[in-house]
Amino acid sequence: MIKIFTYLILIVLVTFCIIYSQSSQPLPAEEQTQILKTITEKLNTVNNLKAGFKQSRHMEILIDPLVSEGLCYFQKPDKLRWEINQPYQSILIYNANEVAKFDVKDGKSVKLNLGTEDLMREILKQIISWMQGDFSKASEIYDLKIYKSDTYTLVLIPKSKELVKSIQSIEMTFNKNLKSISIVRINETTENFIKIEFSNEQNDISLIEKIFDTQKPHLNLKP
């Protein structure tokens, strides 16, 4: 009886593993191409957006992740604002190829010297491209794989061995309507990763220009 029970458990486990492995396989190339085309078309219809975000940095040496929260603003074609409100206040702005970062203290913004402005500019330009569904440049640097569960997840795996030393993969999970990204996960190693979860997204709303001002940005925005 024990042998039969053990055998049944093994069957269940093997069946589960087969089902899991099938669900974790990327889509076939033709289907992936079609879905990526649909994602591009959907994202490209969004003229602007405002969304809350929660960013958690997980590190092997830390028991609990480092968590920050804030707001993200995007205006087509080339404006992005990444505003952290908790546990401190900081603003990063990209506006028509200009990059600026500010600390906010006592209701006043203090512009910082980035030091790595060129690198930051390229990173933000790439993020803006992805937000608009343009993955053409990404395909030159990464292998693109799409996985399907309740929705779709795009996984970018670096082609360069040098880049793999810093980033193992980037995962972007899309909302069911495919018009926005709900979760971004940047995997540095298996244990070290950054996870960004977006919420309360609003599309095609009225945004004032001062939000993206790289000299004196508008402050005291309410969630």
The predicted-structure confidence for 146-202, as pLDDT tens digits, reads as follows 999 889 999 999 998 888 888 899 999 999 989 889 999 999 988 899 999 999 999
Beta strand ranges found along the chain (DSSP E): 48-58, 66-75, 79-86, 90-95, 98-105, 108-111, 142-148, 152-158, 169-174, 181-187, 193-203
3-state secondary structure of 9: helix
pLDDT of residue 220: 64
Give pLDDT tens digits for 13-69. Answer: 333 333 333 347 899 999 999 999 999 999 999 999 999 999 999 999 989 999 999
pLDDT of residue 196: 94
Give pLDDT tens digits for 79-114. Answer: 999 999 999 999 999 999 899 999 998 888 999 987
pLDDT of residue 214: 93
What is the spatial distance between Cα 135 and Cα 129, in angstroms, rounded to a whole number? 7
Reported CATH class of domain 27-212: mainly beta
Judge whether residue 7 has pLDDT over 50: no
Judge whether residue 4 has pLDDT over 80: no
- pTM, full prediction: 0.81
- Sorted by sequence, the CB contacts under 8 Å of residue 175 that are 6+ apart come out as 151, 181, 182, 201
pLDDT of residue 179: 86
